Structure 1
Amino acid sequence: MKSTFESFGLSEQIQRSIELLGYHQPTEVQSVLIESMIEGNDVVIQSQTGSGKTAAFAIPICDNIDFDQNIPQALIIAPTRELALQIKEDVFHIGRFKRVKVSVLFGKFPYEVQVKELKQKTHIVVGTPGRILDHIKRGTLDVSEIKYLIIDEADEMFKLGFLADMNQIIKKLPVKRQTVLLSATIPDQIQELISFAIRNPKFIKIDEESNVLDRITQYKLSVVEQAKLRVTREILMTEQPDSCMIFCNLKATVDDIFEYFSDMKFPIQRLHGGMEQNDRTQIIKGFKQGSFRFLVATDVAARGLDIDQVSLIINFDIPLEAEIYVHRIGRTGRFDQMGKAITFVTTNQGRFLRNIEDFTGVRMEMLQLPDKETLQNAHIDSARQIREKKIVKKVKGEQLNEGITALQIRAGKQSKIRPTDIVGAICSIEGLSAEDIGVINIGELFSEVEILNEKGDMVYQQLQELPIKGKLRKVIKMRK
């Protein structure tokens, strides 16, 4: 098993990306999966959350993408919209300097927008099964050149009833492809999917669950239902976590907690499946950036989301399945970070607690809350500190933006602008080459292009007087 990313013989562009993203040494799942994919094996990986699975398959895929090919070469299927968006972001970052184009497809989002994106050069498609299948049936997603199929969180696909859609998608794909299936568990139904989708797979079980749980101190607290909100407030005031996630079983409970703490002016937001997708996306982005400290959510946020520096998990409602518990608390204790998880247990919920403890092999400690006098003395200062303290989180990928300038060109499809027109104009500037040009997106009225290697200012200045497709175009900076 290789212990450095350099030992895989990756391209300079991919090596540069993973270094800037802070991948210093491969985790066990990254080491074995990257090597297996480079060797061309079909693979089934059984691994728990927090092990770096996305990078494990994204690195070899991005490294082998043929940039000149316009139709998708890799299809990554995820069970939820949030996870699909997370994977798309991670793949984009890893493939940034190879100019890998990644599209994401999921429901409750306009088809027309997705179709327009798919008509442009697209190397990798990430999405949920239902929307991917819809696009294939409509002829708007060309899967004839798919070389890589990744099935992520396969056990969750089964629980959400996606296996029939998965089977239909797989039937449409080229037989000659590399397939990787990742799952925390391998029940009989997933074994049937493996037999159908994968020929002679290499089975790999990563026993990292204990390592993840070792980084999380787990507590239980007996509490009556009516006291949960008060106890949650007391925990937040005494623990003073920089970042905390509160999990509930029902959307209505999420709304109640959000309104309770919003009235107290606590920096909190909510996340559940009844919200508009754009709102959910913005909330996840805000939580990652530290715009607010507390996020109350249903299990829509429990699987796969990579949110750094979450120090405390509160299970306001005990999960009814032990696997869900592991995924919830796996939002803390990520990689080399330590975390804490507190689970509320009400009357008649002892069997759920025992199932969780048997599944994890860990007996939770009983949490001791401070006495009333201590809480009263700390109440005013703690509440003020919660409201006023500002948290700044490191955002994954922000170091990649150093040296990159995004330019917007006021011309798009309606002006019959093509990526080659933009590349040709930029490469005519002395000292510029295609290696200095990043991802290009052509919209109806506007186009966007990333300029790499600290050359953005020079290109911006030159394009003020340099025609693109025979005309001067308005060019503005989007970010640096």
Structure 2
Amino acid sequence: MTFKQLGISDNLIKILKNNGITVPTEIQDKSIIEILNGRDVIGEAQTGTGKTLAFLLPIFEKISPCSKDIQCLIVTPTRELAIQITEEAMKLKEGKDIGVLAMYGGKDIGSQVKKLQGNIQMVIATPGRLLDHIKRKTVDFKKLKTIVIDEADQMLLMGFRNEIDTIMKERPKKVQVLCYSATMDAAVKKLAYRYMNDPVIVSIKKKEVTLENIKQEVVETTDRWKKDALCTVLDEDNPFMAIIFCRTKRRANELEIVMHQRGYNCKVIHSDIPQNKRERIMKSFRNADIQYLIATDVASRGLDISGVSHIYNYDIPEKVETYIHRIGRTGRAGEEGYTCLFVDPKDLRLLEEIEKEIKFAIPRRLI
């Protein structure tokens, strides 16, 4: 169906067209009508399938600029995701007098309190900062129409269960609840059903992993020689823009120090980096002022950056889905991508699991 047939107004269709979006994705096609009809929705779809617009578009159709009250609350696990959703919302509100406020730690709470006294209809928040406002009684959800729990699987993984419980107690009795997640396991469903009324389940089947545009290779090394192996590969490839994934914040920090010492243009991003610094780093990376972004999985969740030609898995991920999610950040929109995975002997079992899932024996790269 077209956006028009789904019930999206001409103004929003024009904004989408100006941003190069003309055809709804599968999750949008299945979600929008249900949300416009007022149903609670549990949406399961992989990152990169357009699920943010799947809930934002119908919410913008329903928000009334005439009412100055908060009508929509979107709760998301990380600051980066809050920023990304806010950026999408700011595009959609073009020409409409709708106030959108992002609430996350690292930003001055006083300025947020001041903005809340004005014209704010949509709040996009991380759980911790939202709870601060609830305790201070600086948010009023009496006229709330819709709550979105975004990336519910990550929310549970990061231990936000109690925060979500507290936040949901603040909602009015009659409120539409939308729960979106990349994976919908029993724990996520249990969380969703606690707060929902007869929800529609919209599940987009995981596509067969083709990864056709991505050349994959493995470098067999040892943990002791891994930094040298990575630098050898980087020198040979000299990519335009690349992300290097590490398993932990400590390993990411250690790698950044070594790469700086060796003269590489790189920055590290993870949850311990202050928010304003993270925003500056991401802006510099998007502008291609930084060649290498060293990242952990949680910090990179939801980052959609065009121009990333190479992905380097410095540490092998412990889940196959994480590997696919990482390497799917290159080879987008028909472009060729390249990914290299560094493994030491203890990683070989995980490598076998990845190869089995993607039905492909990843070629070894000799350096």
* TM-score, structure 1 normalization: 0.72
CA contact (8 A) 1:303 1:328 kept: no
Identify the structure with bigger relative contact order (alpha carbons < 8 Å, sequence gap 6+). 2
Matches within 5 A, 1:38-77: 38-77=36-75
2:278 pairs with 277, 280, 293, which one?
A: 280
Matches within 5 A, 1:157-306: 157-210=155-208, 213-306=211-304
Which residue in 2 is equivalent to 1:475? none
The answer for unaligned runs of 5 or more in structure 1 is: 371-480
Q: Report the residue type matching 2:56 in the other structure.
A: A
- Partner of 2:345, secondary structure, is coil
Which residue in 2 is equivalent to 1:307? 305
CA contact (8 A) 1:219 1:364 kept: no
CA contact (8 A) 2:105 2:275 kept: no
Matches within 5 A, 1:69-88: 69-88=67-86
The change in CA–CA distance for 1:59 and 1:356 in structure 2 (over 3 A counts) is: same
CA contact (8 A) 1:82 1:300 kept: no
Q: Summarize deviations over 1:10-41 as a string: whole Å, max 9, x none.
A: 23331221111111222111211122222322
CA distance in structure 2 between the aligned counterparts of 1:317 and 1:203, rounded to whole angstroms: 35
The change in CA–CA distance for 1:117 and 1:330 in structure 2 (over 3 A counts) is: farther
Aligned residues: 367
1:331 pairs with 329, 341, 350, which one?
A: 329
CA distance in structure 1 between the aligned counterparts of 2:200 and 2:301, rounded to whole angstroms: 25
Which residue in 2 is equivalent to 1:33? 31
The answer for unaligned runs of 5 or more in structure 2 is: none
Matches within 5 A, 1:366-381: 366-369=363-366
Q: Summarize deviations over 1:392-415 as a string: whole Å, max 9, x none.
A: xxxxxxxxxxxxxxxxxxxxxxxx
Higher mean alpha-carbon deviation, 83-92 vs 250-259, is at 250-259
Q: Report the residue type matching 1:281 in the other structure.
A: E
The change in CA–CA distance for 1:35 and 1:211 in structure 2 (over 3 A counts) is: farther
- Partner of 2:110, secondary structure, is helix
Q: Summarize deviations over 1:220-255 as a string: whole Å, max 9, x none.
A: 221111222222222223333221100112223222
CA distance in structure 2 between the aligned counterparts of 1:272 and 1:178, rounded to whole angstroms: 33
The change in CA–CA distance for 1:338 and 1:30 in structure 2 (over 3 A counts) is: farther
CA distance in structure 1 between the aligned counterparts of 2:119 and 2:282, rounded to whole angstroms: 28
Q: Summarize deviations over 1:405-448 as a string: whole Å, max 9, x none.
A: xxxxxxxxxxxxxxxxxxxxxxxxxxxxxxxxxxxxxxxxxxxx
CA distance in structure 2 between the aligned counterparts of 1:333 and 1:146, rounded to whole angstroms: 40
Which residue in 1 is equivalent to 2:101? 103
Q: Report the residue type matching 1:100 in the other structure.
A: I
User: Is it true that 1:365 corresponds to 2:362 in the alignment?
Assistant: yes
Q: Report the residue type matching 1:147 in the other structure.
A: K
CA contact (8 A) 1:76 1:125 kept: yes
Cα deviation, residue 199, structure 1: 1.0
CA distance in structure 1 between the aligned counterparts of 2:281 and 2:176, rounded to whole angstroms: 35
The change in CA–CA distance for 1:114 and 1:24 in structure 2 (over 3 A counts) is: same
- Partner of 2:95, secondary structure, is helix
Higher mean alpha-carbon deviation, 154-163 vs 12-21, is at 12-21
Which residue in 1 is equivalent to 2:346? 348
CA contact (8 A) 2:218 2:365 kept: no
Q: Report the residue type matching 2:309 in the other structure.
A: S
Cα deviation, residue 215, structure 1: 4.5
CA contact (8 A) 1:17 1:97 kept: no
Q: Report the residue type matching 1:53 in the other structure.
A: K
CA distance in structure 2 between the aligned counterparts of 1:143 and 1:216, rounded to whole angstroms: 46
- Partner of 1:245, secondary structure, is strand
CA contact (8 A) 1:143 1:173 kept: yes
CA distance in structure 1 between the aligned counterparts of 2:300 and 2:72, rounded to whole angstroms: 26
The change in CA–CA distance for 1:335 and 1:44 in structure 2 (over 3 A counts) is: farther
- Partner of 2:201, secondary structure, is strand
Q: Report the residue type matching 1:86 in the other structure.
A: Q
The change in CA–CA distance for 1:99 and 1:336 in structure 2 (over 3 A counts) is: farther
The change in CA–CA distance for 1:198 and 1:228 in structure 2 (over 3 A counts) is: same
Identity %: 35
CA distance in structure 2 between the aligned counterparts of 1:240 and 1:18, rounded to whole angstroms: 35
* TM-score, structure 2 normalization: 0.93
CA distance in structure 2 between the aligned counterparts of 1:343 and 1:79, rounded to whole angstroms: 28
The change in CA–CA distance for 1:362 and 1:76 in structure 2 (over 3 A counts) is: farther
Q: Report the residue type matching 1:348 in the other structure.
A: K
- Partner of 2:273, secondary structure, is coil
Which residue in 2 is equivalent to 1:150? 148
